[in-house]
Every structure is written in C-alpha cells, then in structure tokens.
Chain A
Amino acid sequence: NFILTQPHSVSESPGKTVTISCTRSSGRIGSNYVQWFHQRPGSSPTTVIYDDDQRPSGVPDRFSGSIDSSSNSASLTISGLKTEDEGDYYCQSYDDSNHVIFGGGTQLTVL
C-alpha cells in the first residue's frame, strides 16, 4: 500500500497565499482521486476539494487543488488567507482495493 506525506505545519499572513503538498509514496498520484478536508478544533472534517481539483458548493474559489505527476503529489492552494482558514488540512486518497488512505495532516496557522 502507499502513504500520503504532508508537511506537519505551515503558517502565513492574512491575505497571502499558501500551498500544502501531499506526496504519494508509491503508485501514480493520478491513479486515484485526491480529496482535501479541513478540520477546525472540535469539529468534524469538511471537504474543500474533491476529485483532485473540484470545489464543493459553498467552498470559496480561494481554494484550489491540483496534482503534479512529476513530483507524484497533490497540492492544496489557499489564496487571500483569512483567519477562518486556520485548522488542520488532510489529503485523502484510496487504493484499488477501496482502502481509504489519509495523509498525516497539516496544521495551518494564519498570523
């Protein structure tokens, strides 16, 4: 099976842009869709990106997702950072046996 590796934490100032990476250890990143979840303290995760680069309704277009086959990774980019964007972000994919795999999570601080 594969693992998804994320940076432990990132921080940036309000109004700036931040990118969180998610690197797949084996197999092609494009083989299975990648999702991104946002989790605030004490709350359940919510989807901010699905199918690599799609935004659910209600998620602002400040959030964007992409995949890069050369680095075998997915990325979540948040522009125009707001304090409400703080929290933990998890990438998630799955293998060909329908096993769900989460990245270790990235703590975003907006300061």
Chain B
Amino acid sequence: QVQLQESGPGLVKPSETLSLSCAVSGHSVSSAYFWGWIRQSPGKGLEWIGSIYNTGTTYYNPSLQSRVTISVDMSKNQFSLNLRSVTAADTAIYYCAGKIAVALRVSFDDWGQGALVTVSS
C-alpha cells in the first residue's frame, strides 16, 4: 500500500517561498496516475492547490497558478510543492495526495498525514 509523508519547514517568512516534499513509499512515483497538493487553512475547508500527471502535465488552481510549481523527483521517489511570495493567508496544513490507478475520475485515493506551515516573520 502506498504511503505518503510530507516534509519541509514549518515556518516560512512572508514574501519567501514555501517548499514541501512528499516522500512516496510502496509505489514508484513515476508510474502513478497523478499526484497533488491540497491545503487546509486553520478551521477551514479543503483547497486544491494543483496536480501533476504521469505525463508530466501539471494543473493548478487558478487562484494560485501564478505562484505555484509542482514537480517530481524520480531519483528520490518524491514530488514537491513550491509556493512563492507567501503571505499569512498561506498558513495552512498542506497535504500531499495521489491516485495510483488510472481511472475516469479525478480524485485522490491516498493522502499524507499533513504538514502545518505557518507564514510569519
């Protein structure tokens, strides 16, 4: 069974770049259908950030698109999130997630435990 684990700084300064990695175990990162990132601000709902498919194609939330990059590192069997020019509004729990098997639906079957990132000086 695939397992996902987020890692990265828990505190980021305003205007800097938030960088998180998601280590994948139990499956090759290159052969899954797609991977993605979702965040949840304190006391709020789920917000999709973006996804990267096994073709290398990326899709981003239009509200974040200008600041987001998602990439895959096959050598480390992980994928990553970079969110630039952060503000306090980017404080949230960040989840990595994935869908291993190809299917018609666009949804996430496997989730990491989440990583809290606080934006503060």
Contact = CB atoms under 8 A, between A and B. Distances in A.
Interface in B104-119: 104-109, 111-114
B63 to A, nearest CB: 10
A50 B59 contact: no
Q: How large is the interface on A (under 10, 10 to 19, 20 to 34, 35 or more residues)?
A: 20 to 34
A90 B46 contact: yes
Given A100-B51, A102-B48, A1 B106 contact: no
A101 B48 contact: yes
Interface in B36-93: 36, 38, 45-48, 51, 53, 59, 61-62
A99 B61 contact: yes
A104 B104 contact: no
B45 A105 contact: yes
A11 B36 CA distance: 32
A1 B62 CA distance: 10
A100 B48 contact: yes
Contacts of A94: 105-107
A44 interface: yes
B46 A99 contact: no
Interface of B: 36, 38, 45-48, 51, 53, 59, 61-62, 95, 104-109, 111-114
20 contacts: A1-B62, A32-B105, A35-B105, A39-B46, A44-B111, A45-B46, A50-B105, A51-B105, A88-B45, A90-B45, A94-B107, A98-B51, A98-B106, A100-B38, A100-B48, A101-B48, A102-B45, A104-B45, A105-B45, A105-B46
Given A46-B111, A94-B106, A100-B36, 13 more contacts: A32-B105, A37-B46, A44-B95, A45-B46, A45-B95, A45-B111, A47-B107, A51-B105, A92-B46, A92-B107, A100-B106, A102-B45, A102-B47
